[in-house]
Amino acid sequence: MLKNLVRVLRGGRKKGPSLEEESLLAQLDLTRLPRHVAIIMDGNGRWAQKRGLPRTSGHRAGVESLRETVRTCAELGIGYLTVYAFSTENWKRPRDEVDVLMDLLVEYLHREIEELCANNIRLHPIGRIQELPPHARKALEMAVSRTRNNQRMVLNLALNYGGRVELVDAVRSIVKEALAGNLDPEQINEFTISSHLYTAGQPDPDLLIRPSGDYRVSNFLLWQLSYTEFWMTSVMWPDFRRVHLLQALVDFQQRERRFGGLNRGEKKCSGTES
């Protein structure tokens, strides 16, 4: 089993897993992986500033962390990965920084499209995509269309995403359906709301990872995180590597999820609520 995993995670790398990675892999139970992992990719600016570099070099360096994380999650068999790339509040930043972020997105999509296809990953942007600049929308359309039949893993790319506007959009569409006579307001329940979110049809995240030492949600997946396990690290996103992901997964498997019940001691953490 361990040998298999080591072989799987060697994929594309000249060097195999480090000793620490091998030891984490040995502790990992592949039958109890989270079905859905969400990541707030934070700390790019501070990473760059610490090195006397412009903030934008931090964003550029963060792309490598994303590449490695996406590949590892797919190889391990995680079904859904949601990464927070640009929030509805990030427009407050200087115009130059926003422009670089949009350009990096386009560059990432063009550079990674073959790898996403080779790894059978479907790209699913979440957020108010219609408000992004035209070149970003065009690259997203290309990547969505090229990957639409892929089935190994869904990569939700949160762009111009905010948990609150997601709920606003869901409420608007529910009200429209009700006004059109297609939905009885008395029948609205939690499932109705979940199925009007950008993540409709997907399981809620089991594990949320936030690098960079901040302990907040920053308007991410407000509805979906209701019973998610949180894993925070002071490592900045550009330094986030496979070993950190494995640490988070091993830690996740030590947790006892109770979902408000009392099943203390009966069952350790697993990706599915049952």
Contacting residues toward ligand IPE, per CB under 6 A: 40-46, 84-87, 89-90, 101, 212, 214, 216, 218
Nearest-approach distance from CB 45 to ligand IPE, in angstroms:
3
Nearest-approach distance from CB 165 to Mg ion, in angstroms:
19
Contacts with 124 (C-beta within 8 Å, 6 or more apart), sequence order: 144, 154, 155, 156, 157
Q: CA angle, corner 32, sides to 204 and 222, nearest 5?
A: 15
Q: Which does 216 bind (CB under 5 to 8 A by kind): Mg ion, ligand IPE, none?
A: ligand IPE
Catalytic residue list contains 219 = no
Catalytic one of 4, 29, 44, 90: 90
Q: Which does 40 bind (CB under 5 to 8 A by kind): Mg ion, ligand IPE, none?
A: ligand IPE
The answer for 81, left when phi > 0, alpha when psi is -120 to 50, beta otherwise, is beta
Q: Please, what is the angle between helix 95-118 and helix 55-76, to 10°?
A: 20
| Residue closer to ligand IPE, measured from CB, 138 or 216 | 216
- Closest to 65 (Cα-Cα) out of 231, 211, 218: 211
- Cβ–Cβ under 8 Å, residues 256 and 240: no
153-161 and 80-87 strand pairing: parallel
Nearest-approach distance from CB 75 to ligand IPE, in angstroms:
24
User: What length does the chain have?
Assistant: 274
Nearest-approach distance from CB 274 to ligand IPE, in angstroms:
31
Nearest-approach distance from CB 42 to Mg ion, in angstroms:
4
**Scanning residues 38 to 97, which ones bind Mg ion (CB under 5 A)?**
42
Q: Which amino acid is at 92?
A: K
Give dist(CA 124, CA 127) in Å, integer: 10
Q: Which does 76 bind (CB under 5 to 8 A by kind): ligand IPE, Mg ion, none?
A: none
Q: Which does 192 bind (CB under 5 to 8 A by kind): Mg ion, ligand IPE, none?
A: none
| Residue closer to Mg ion, measured from CB, 87 or 270 | 87
Catalytic one of 4, 29, 42, 169: 42
| Residue closer to Mg ion, measured from CB, 71 or 210 | 210
| Residue closer to ligand IPE, measured from CB, 37 or 41 | 41
Catalytic residue list contains 90 = yes
- Cβ–Cβ under 8 Å, residues 73 and 116: no
| Residue closer to ligand IPE, measured from CB, 87 or 150 | 87
Q: Which does 96 bind (CB under 5 to 8 A by kind): ligand IPE, Mg ion, none?
A: none
Query: Residue 15: enclosing H or E segment and its boundaries?
Result: none
| Residue closer to ligand IPE, measured from CB, 43 or 79 | 43
How far out from the chain centre does Cα 38 lie?
A: 4
Terminal CA-CA length for the chain: 26
Nearest-approach distance from CB 101 to ligand IPE, in angstroms:
6
Q: Please, what is the angle between helix 19-27 and helix 242-254, to 10°?
A: 30
Residues of this chain that interact with Mg ion (CB under 5 A) are: 42
Residue numbers annotated as active site = 42, 90
